[in-house]
Amino acid sequence: MSKAIRIHAHGGPEVLAYEDAEPGQPGEGQILIRHTAIGLNFIDVYHRSGLYPPPGGFPLIPGGEAAGVVLAPGAGVDWLKPGDRIAYAVNVGAYAEQRVIAADRVVKVPDGISDEQAAAMMLKGMTAEYLLRRTFPVKAGDTILYHAAAGGVGLILGQWAKHLGATVIGTASSADKIELARAHGFDHVINYKEQDFVAGVAALTGGKKCDVVYDSVGADTFPASLDCLRPLGMFVSFGQSSGPIPPFSMSLLAQKGSLYATRPTLFVYNARREDLVKSAEALFDVVKSGAVEIKINQRYALKDAGKAQADLEARKTTGTTVLIP
């Protein structure tokens, strides 16, 4: 009997129930897969807590990224066969030993990328890809600020941004996390518990500030993030680990220097299969080239997903974490 983590009501990590869950058979355009590794992300916590409404309601199997092997393709799927290694980033449904999924949402994992790497980097790595290459196309000479530098997206984005020739500034909360971020492409890392990061950015840039701020923290870093931007700079809010940004007047952007602000999501950027494939290929290429290294810093059994999420919320984890079915 296949197992999965289900949520029947919003709450803390204790609502994650390890239960029997038969995946069923694939229909037209679908495949049945067996997971070998599952990624852990803050959006999983948002779905559990109710910060984000659960897609499809309850019961909910959370989890947005995983890697595995094809067990059976459904009708009309002629480009995948049993045994093929695949990976994906979707909205929910990954916290399971097996699942049925739309074939057009998965990509083949190339040689040179392990299943654990693929599971740990699909959502985070393709997030880094669209942030750096499409939301604000970073080029050599740009200066960027990234909050939560030692997090999963941060450790990928820092390396990738450095590879693109940017000056990369990060924020982190401890000496260990600062050291980790510096080892992953960040030129400068500000300990926001000991120093005002706005003043730190101004000092590091000689008052010129940054071309773009990537902010997944939310309430705790707003509106200070705006004060780290040069005139006409871009504020990119792509998460809210400390809570949502409160409503604000658009005139604030004018007051702070005619700034741009956007709230992007991966699933809009990669809604078309052609964009998904290009994003994944760019990610695989930069990892295989050695410019970006994917390290798995924590592993938990799938049945221990509650502890994994609790550690994530308590900021006890760094970088990438995977659940092993």
The CATH number that applies at residue 182 is 3.40.50.720
How far is residue 3 CA from its own chain's centroid?
A: 25
Arithmetic mean of pLDDT, 192-199: 93
Based on the domain organization, do 16 and 106 belong to the same domain? yes
Residue 180 banded pLDDT, cuts 50, 70, 90: very high
User: In the prediction, which pLDDT does 243 show?
Assistant: 83
pTM score, two decimals? Answer: 0.90
How many distinct structural domains can be found in the chain? 2
Q: Report which secondary-structure segment, H or E, holds 97.
A: none
| Domain of residue 28, residue span | 3-123+267-323
**Are residues 110 and 218 both part of a single domain?**
no
Spatial CA neighbour of 140 closest among 164, 111, 123, 161: 164
The reply to whether 257 and 271 lie within a common domain is no
DSSP helix/strand/coil, 44: helix
Which pLDDT belongs to residue 293?
94
Same domain, 235 and 292: no
| HSE (side-chain half, CA atoms, 13 Å) at 30 | 11
pLDDT value of residue 200: 97
Residue 144 belongs to a domain:
yes
Label residue 270 by pLDDT band (50, 70, 90).
Answer: very high
Q: What is the pLDDT of residues 112-155, one digit of tens each?
A: 999 999 999 999 999 999 999 999 999 999 999 999 999 889 99
Whether residue 110 is found in the same domain as residue 188: no
